[in-house]
Chains A and B, each alone.
Chain A
Amino acid sequence: MSRFLFPRWSNALLPFVLVVGAIAPLYMTLLVAYGFSPKTLDGQYQPEQPVPYSHALHAGKLGLDCRYCHSTVENAAHAAVPPTQTCMNCHTQIHKDSPKLEKVRESYATGMPIEWIKVHKLGDYAYFNHAAHVTRGVSCVECHGRVDQMEVVHRAQPLAMGWCLDCHRNAVDHVRPPEEVFNLSKPTDSWTKDQRLELIKRYDLHPNDNCSTCHR
């Protein structure tokens, strides 16, 4: 019985094998870090909603304030999805026979909720408070992006813990005067760093990074 011997040409492969052997662990590490990152796994989630509501039209073109519909955002942790009544404030008259609004009319008639799909869903262990942020100068745009330009809403930011902490540890880059919070078209760097530092001082902002700030 003859023993297996590597063919002679395999010697020429040796340097190559060494290089691949050195690169492979690095490749796998980077691949997992990049591919399993929330930016990849959660990034740009864009479900199809039961009603093709356009933020670009309502909040962008018509210029409705975010709070017209999300009226709890300044007082509650949860920025409520509006009840069907809010849609019907206008749509009993405007586009009142539109086929796109069929589910809205049905909900209005029966009292059953429209089953909107939650786009910005956090893990059940995280408690984000909208009121605490928007009343102290963190704009909607910091987390939700330019919703006023989105035909169909998608996640603009990963909403992951590391991303939250980036801001909690460096709030000065993400604050603006509270009266400009709902003005999505104005970027945060319209205010100079000194102005933003001044805001941090004036509103006594000290976002902390204790576990219990968000997990309880």
Chain B
Amino acid sequence: MFKIPRIIVYVLMIGGCIALIPPLVFARMRATPSPNRPIHIFWDMDFQPKFKAQAPNPLFADGRAMRPPVQGSVARGESYVDTHMFEGVVDGQWATALPTSMKLDQATLERGQQRFNIYCSACHGYSGYGDGAVNQRAMELVSNVNGPVNGTQWVAAKSLHDETTRHQPMGQLFNTITHGIRNMAGYGAQISVTDRWAIAAYVKALQFSQDAGSSGAKVAGAAN
């Protein structure tokens, strides 16, 4: 047996070690978040000369591929002729019932509850007392010992059960949800018309449920 020179043995050992590096690099890439992905080796048709939703387009001054509607345009099916449906107003007065195309039933109230929990409960709380998580957080920031954090100003979210809100007709609630009021922003862009009505109906139900006097019992009967 002839002896293999040292140098050859070392080269082979080093080569073996180097062969371990790529798998380790790949394993690390899999395991750690990084801004340097995705890596496109085969481009195929990953990048096509077309625009998907919310994509940028440098041809327009604002960089949006999706063009915002021209001021004053009216969406199909939203003629706004129906003031009850779109403004909550009937004959110059706040509407006291749902628009005629909607039905006050279990399904509407459940939909309203679900939407209320998504959009309203953040500030107003699940039961409407103004004790939502965002409200609590804002209160903490305002009452910080070193003064309000980052200039936070906050007026406690309104309880939906206080004297001024409790007796508001459904149309007025709809209007408030749509356009906002005082420090509350309008949710017309975030919530569809029918969902806003469903929320208004649910808020009425919530208010009656927390106002368990004779009127509460009466309405519970009427709703059935």
Contact = CB atoms under 8 A, between A and B. Distances in A.
B134 interface: yes
Given A44-B30, A46-B35, A124 B50 contact: yes
B37 interface: yes
Interface stretch (B87-95, B147-155, B201-209, B213-221): B147-155
Contacts of A27: 19
A123 B185 contact: no
Contacts of A68: 118-119, 122, 190
B26 A34 contact: yes
B62 A12 contact: no
B64 A123 contact: no
Question: On chain B, which size bracket covers the interface?
Answer: 35 or more
A187 interface: no
B14 to A, nearest CB: 14
B63 A112 contact: yes
A39 B8 CA distance: 37
B45 interface: yes
B32 A47 contact: no
Nearest to A123: B46
Interface string A99-131: 000000000000111010000010111000000
B198 interface: no
A43 B62 CA distance: 32
Main secondary structure on A side of the interface with B:
loop
Contacts of B4: 9, 12-13
Given A41-B38, A42-B37, A43-B29, A125 B54 contact: no
A47 B30 CA distance: 15
Contacts of B185: 85, 88-89, 92
B146 interface: no
A94 B138 contact: yes
A29 to B, nearest CB: 12
Interface of A: 7-9, 11-13, 16, 27, 31, 34-36, 38-48, 61-65, 67-68, 71, 76-78, 80-81, 83, 85-86, 88-90, 92-98, 111-113, 115, 121, 123-125, 152, 154-155, 179
Given A62-B134, A88-B185, A123-B44, 6 more contacts: A31-B23, A41-B39, A44-B31, A89-B187, A93-B152, A123-B46
Interface of B: 1-5, 8, 12, 19, 22-23, 25-26, 29-35, 37-41, 44-48, 50, 52-54, 56, 62-64, 114, 117-119, 122, 133-134, 137-138, 141, 149-154, 183, 185, 187, 189-191
